[in-house]
Each structure stands twice: as C-alpha cells, then as structure tokens.
C-alpha cells in the first residue's frame, strides 16, 4: 500500500487531536474530490507501518487516529488498514478510531466479507459515502457534503439502526 500523507497531529479530521493517515488509491472518482492525486494507487510513498507507529507511540496529545484517503476500505487497501489499526490499538489502547470511506455502511456490510467486518469492528466512527458536489456544504463539520454521515459505529452495528456520532 502507498500513502498520500500522514499528519502527526490534526484537529480537523475528527474530534480532538488525532494522527491522520491518508492512504493512496480510490475507485470512486467523485467529481470535485478534495484529494484528487490520492485516487491513484501509485501516488505518494510506500507505507512504512513501523515508522508511523513509532511517531504515534509517545505523542501524549493524541486522542485517536483517523484513516482517510483515498479509500481506506477498498479491497486493495483494507487488509493493511485492518492490520495497522490493530497495531495502533496495541500501543495506544485508549485511542478511538475514525475512518472516512466513500462506501456507505450498507455497501460495506453487503460485501459479507470477513476482512471488511473485522475492520468495521475496529472502527469507532465511520464517515461514510462519496463526496457529492451538489450537496457540498462548507459549514458541515468533519464532512464535505450533506449526504455523508458521521456514524457512531459500535452502537449502530449492535442495534442495526443508524446512530449519529454526537460531536
Ligand atoms: S471517495 Fe474521497 S478520495 Fe475517493 S474520489 Fe471521492 S472524495 Fe475523492
């Protein structure tokens, strides 16, 4: 997997101070994409998991990690994303995990795929759905267009009812 970037500390990619990993490669090609170069699976640099884990490990300001892109949950990226989240939780068990995906939760669950389901189990907050230019709203917090949802994933998976994450 290649990555388009990594922020050691950010407050604009989820609630609280967070490390942010931007993976490369996205099959959605949304018009008006905020990160067009990251649609290319070969864009950026090789993912050096250990180096990023080392950068996260001692940073006491951080409350969590956000995985963005590109598309973290496409079939090409999801195995390494799952492996990375598991390793992050080993060194920072208190972290909460946000993930941005162009897939809706229903599409992800509809895959009936073990890796996808395991990955969803590791995520606390899923911001789902493609960016839709006609629904773009710059006043929205932590999402680009109004069709996207900020999902409190654990209770949503438990109850099978969409529960919005309270900001
Ligand atoms: S899902 Fe995100 S990264 Fe992919 S094309 Fe759409 S806006 Fe760009």
Planar angle of CA 52, 57, 58, nearest 5 degrees: 125
**Entry pTM:** 0.97
Q: How far is the CA of 21 from the centre of ligand 1 (A)?
A: 15
What angle do the packed helices 78-91 and 49-57 form, to 10 degrees? 30
Q: Which domains, from first to last, does the chain contain?
A: 2-159 (3.20.20.70)
For the beta sheet containing 2-10, the strands, ordered from the edge strand earlier in sequence to the opposite edge, are 45-46, 2-10, 18-23, 64-68, 96-101, 125-128, 149-152
Question: Residue with the nearest Cα to atom 3 of ligand 1?
Answer: 70
What six digits make up the tokens of 91?
Answer: 């060194």
Question: Which whole number is the average pLDDT over 5-27?
Answer: 98
Question: Which whole number is the average pLDDT over 146-167?
Answer: 97
Q: Please give all residues whose beta carbon lies within 6 A of any atom in ligand 1, as ranges.
A: 26, 28-30, 33-35, 38-39, 69-71, 102, 130-131
Looking at residue 37, what is its pLDDT?
Answer: 96
Q: How far is the CA of 104 from the centre of ligand 1 (A)?
A: 12
Looking at residue 110, what is its pLDDT?
Answer: 98
What six digits make up the tokens of 64?
Answer: 């969590």
* Average pLDDT over all residues of the chain: 97
User: If you ran DSSP here, which 8-state letter would residue 165 be given?
Assistant: P
Using 50, 70 and 90 to split pLDDT, how confident is the model at 137? very high
Planar angle of CA 63, 142, 28, nearest 5 degrees: 115
Q: How far is the CA of 107 from the centre of ligand 1 (A)?
A: 16
Tell whether omega for the bond before 70 is within 30 degrees of 0, i.e. cis.
yes
pLDDT in tens, 65-110: 999 999 999 999 999 999 999 999 999 999 999 999 999 999 999 9
Helix or strand or coil: residue 45? Answer: strand
């Amino acid at each position: 997997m290649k990555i388009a970037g990594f922020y050691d500390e950010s407050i604009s990619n989820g609630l609280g101070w967070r490390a942010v990993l931007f993976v490369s490669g996205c099959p959605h090609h949304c018009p008006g994409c905020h990160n067009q170069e990251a649609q290319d699976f070969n864009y950026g640099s090789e993912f050096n998991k250990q180096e990023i884990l080392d950068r996260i490990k001692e940073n006491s300001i951080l409350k969590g990690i956000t995985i963005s892109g590109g598309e973290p949950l496409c079939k090409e990226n999801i195995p390494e994303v799952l492996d990375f989240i598991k390793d992050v939780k080993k060194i920072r068990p208190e972290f909460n995990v946000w993930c941005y995906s162009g897939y809706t939760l229903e599409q992800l669950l509809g895959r009936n795929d073990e890796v996808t389901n395991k990955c969803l189990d590791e995520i606390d907050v899923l911001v789902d759905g493609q960016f839709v230019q006609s629904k773009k709203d710059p006043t929205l917090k932590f999402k680009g267009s109004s069709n996207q949802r900020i999902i409190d994933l654990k209770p949503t998976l438990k109850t099978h009812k969409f529960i919005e994450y309270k900001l």
